[in-house]
Amino acid sequence: MTSWFDHTINGLIIGNIYGLLAVGLALIFGVSRLINFAHGSVYVVGAYVGWVAVSVLQTPFPVTLVLVVALTAALGIVIERFGIRPLADAPRIAPLLATIGLSFVLDQTVQILFSPDPRSVPMQVPNWRIEIGGGSIGLLDLLIGGIGITAAASLFAFLKLTKWGWAVRATALDRDAARAMGVDVDKVNRIVFAIASALGGVGGVLVGMYYNVITPTMGFEATLKGIVAEVVGGVGNVPGAIVGSLLLGLVESYGVALLGTSYRNLFAFVLLIAILVLRPNGLFASHRQLPPEPMTGTFVAPSKPVRLPVPLVAAAAALAIALPFLTENGYLIQTLTNAWLYALLGLSLTLVAGTSGQVSLGHAALLAIGGYTSALLAFNLNWPVWLTLLIGGFAAAGIGTLLVSPAFRLRGHYVSIATLGIGEIVALVILNWESVTRGPIGVAGIPPLSLFGYDLYDTNAIYWFAFALMAALALLQVRLLGSHLGRTLRAVRDDDVAARSFGIGLKRYKGLAFAFGGFFAGISGAFTAHMYSFINHETFNTQISVLALTIAILGGMGNVGGAILGSVALIGLPEIFRVAAEYRILLYGIALLLLVRFRPQGLLGTV
């Protein structure tokens, strides 16, 4: 039985590590107005540099720390120079997407270099513990606390007492005015990325020492935790980030003490959503309302969409339908079936993010809701699968819209953070609600797809079914976009203040967009569940959310034909060329980076 004292110490230590991440995120947001999704990946790099130093080079701890600081700071400078600075004039959401691409690239590179297996970090600190009351503090705890406090003190000294520290603060407050004082804001950005990355790298080493294990995939969660802490403290607020981190650490530690380890992240994300809804400026801000301007701006790069001639579309559709007669290659048919299902997801996201401008990063949750609803109804109650598919679609529409509705008052980056958090909450509820979802074991033996009383086992039949569904819903979406509703959604996207002044109820239309999008994604998730006959909480993960976004961007945001083409390109091509799974994620990251930089309007143009 661990005492409350121990839980408090544990919470503060974890909070300390979150703080090293959150302070960097806050600094970067301050000067660049950017939420850096690659931050957790830098922390992973820090952890692995530490591992190499300790295990291979066998350096003493101070040398390890210096190595980590130097290399991650350098990585931060590279990220700023090549990932962020070229996008200085792009819409605000563009650099955010670039950092997501960067995080894929960094995480996968680490995974390819060091293998996906966890590695243990040899202990460099003697395992002494001091007994206090009912609990104890270890030397490692004190070391981590000491490093955290030293880092914070040095940072404050830098910001308060040095010329470049003033420049950082001045740039955060008013970029143009700082330039007019002669401040080279590019250099400020470089300094900030270097400091933030070094702090994140140190966090990675410390977490490796604390848990004694590191994995290449731990970065994404670290980014999320840093973002939660930053939002709690007020985005861009450095002291707030520290307090938010310690608070988050304590909430998690006590939550785990009460309910168990698998609830740790649930507490974090519920805290995130609560803060976003109730106090979007953080706990310490005097204003409850978000500043309207800096957050607006969608990713929809203005462009002339490519008009696909009807005969060409008809010919492509005919070819798609005839394909099973033309080839004996079942693998190709299966791959394309997958592509049609991802196209449904892409259609959903291109409507929500492209047409309505709500860049969702939690879209996989809609797949999960549809998949689980349909699978459980068919499995437990033996309902016909065509019916459960439909119900899965409606469930995703209804539940998804309901879950996102508190976020309707948010804009820009905050929508992305909120949907990301909601997506994580859905996954965590699925994991923990064992009586219904079977938790981590998942649902196996899901009844196969069936139509008119016939079970579909045949690859070709499933292919046609998927294509028919996708084509029908794509046509529906084309009609939708040409209607009054489509125009209104685009108005909301382009200028929600102007839209509101014309009497458009924003919440209603955002709700409609999510409802339609949810239906499409729900059907796709349900179809997938019956096709695979097995799902668990990891089937529809955040990587799929990001992949969906990449599909929508590749095709051209808001573009129906583009979503289908994007899906065929991103799902079909790597499969056909048999790219190994770990390189595939790397490829997606690079694709996203290149797109954001060189062709934000996608292949077929934005609508």
Partner 1 sequence: MTNTTDNPILELDAIDTFYGPVQAHFGLSLHVGKGEIVSLLGGNASGKSTTMKIILGLVKPAAGDVRVDGVSTLKLKTPEIVRLGVGTVPEARRLFGAMSVRENLLMGAFIRNDKDGIAADLERVLTLFPRVGQRLNQQAGTLSGGEQQMVAMARALMGRPRVVIMDEPTMGLSPLWVERVLELIRDINGQGVAIFMVEQNASLALQIAHRGYVLQTGRIVLEGKAADLLVDTRIRDAYLGGAEAA
Binding residues for partner 1 (CB under 8 A): 163, 166-167, 169-170, 173-174, 176-184
Those residues with Cβ within 8 angstroms of residue 415's Cβ, 6 or more apart along the chain or in another chain: 358, 359, 360, 407
SS (H, E, C) 93-134: HHHHHHHHHHHHHHHHHHHHHHCCCCEECCCCCCCCEEEECC
CB 111 within 8 A of CB 217: yes
Please state the closest distance from residue 238 (CB atom) to partner 1, in A. Answer: 11
158 vs 166 by CB, closer to partner 1: 166
CB 12 within 8 A of CB 249: yes
Alpha helices in 181-294 (DSSP H): 185-211, 218-233, 238-259, 264-278
- Of the candidates 389, 390, 527, 378, the residue with the CA atom closest to the CA atom of residue 445: 378
Strand, coil or helix: 458: coil
Strand, coil or helix: 135: strand
161 vs 326 by CB, closer to partner 1: 161
285 vs 504 by CB, closer to partner 1: 285
Please state the closest distance from residue 89 (CB atom) to partner 1, in A. Answer: 12
Please state the closest distance from residue 190 (CB atom) to partner 1, in A. Answer: 14
Q: What is the amino acid identity at position 540? A: F
Please state the closest distance from residue 28 (CB atom) to partner 1, in A. Answer: 18
CB contact burial 82-93 (16+ within 10 A = b; e otherwise): ebbeebeebbbb
30 vs 50 by CB, closer to partner 1: 30
How far is 527 from 586, CA to CA, in rounded Å? 27
User: 120: which strand partners?
Assistant: 213
184 vs 455 by CB, closer to partner 1: 184
Please state the closest distance from residue 163 (CB atom) to partner 1, in A. Answer: 7
Strand, coil or helix: 534: strand
Strand, coil or helix: 529: helix
User: 443: which strand partners?
Assistant: 535
- Of the candidates 382, 375, 389, the residue with the CA atom closest to the CA atom of residue 443: 375
Please state the closest distance from residue 303 (CB atom) to partner 1, in A. Answer: 15
Sort residue 112 into left (φ over 0), alpha (ψ -120 to 50) or beta. Answer: alpha
User: Is the C-alpha dihedral spanning 389, 338, 481, 354 positive or negative?
Assistant: positive
The tally of CA atoms less than 13 A away on the side-chain side of residue 494 is 13
Please state the closest distance from residue 496 (CB atom) to partner 1, in A. Answer: 22
Angle at 376 between CA 373 and CA 380, to 5 degrees: 145
- Of the candidates 321, 324, 341, 331, the residue with the CA atom closest to the CA atom of residue 527: 341
180 vs 581 by CB, closer to partner 1: 180
285 vs 471 by CB, closer to partner 1: 285
166 vs 394 by CB, closer to partner 1: 166
182 vs 453 by CB, closer to partner 1: 182
DSSP state of 293: S
Helix, strand, coil percentages (3-state) for the chain, rounded to 5, are 75, 5, 25
Please state the closest distance from residue 44 (CB atom) to partner 1, in A. Answer: 33
How far is 471 from 185, CA to CA, in rounded Å? 49
Please state the closest distance from residue 186 (CB atom) to partner 1, in A. Answer: 8
Say how many C-beta atoms besides its own lie within 10 A of residue 344's C-beta: 29
188 vs 352 by CB, closer to partner 1: 188
Please state the closest distance from residue 168 (CB atom) to partner 1, in A. Answer: 11
238 vs 397 by CB, closer to partner 1: 238
187 vs 508 by CB, closer to partner 1: 187
Please state the closest distance from residue 172 (CB atom) to partner 1, in A. Answer: 9
Please state the closest distance from residue 239 (CB atom) to partner 1, in A. Answer: 12
Please state the closest distance from residue 229 (CB atom) to partner 1, in A. Answer: 21
184 vs 538 by CB, closer to partner 1: 184
Please state the closest distance from residue 170 (CB atom) to partner 1, in A. Answer: 5
Unique residue bearing structure tokens 């519920």: 270
149 vs 181 by CB, closer to partner 1: 181
Q: Chain-centre distance of CA 267, in angstroms?
A: 18
Per the structure block, which two tokens stand in for 38?
Answer: 């690659």
178 vs 499 by CB, closer to partner 1: 178
Residue count of the chain: 607
CB 26 within 8 A of CB 235: yes
CB 351 within 8 A of CB 516: yes
How far is 497 from 289, CA to CA, in rounded Å? 15
Please state the closest distance from residue 165 (CB atom) to partner 1, in A. Answer: 10
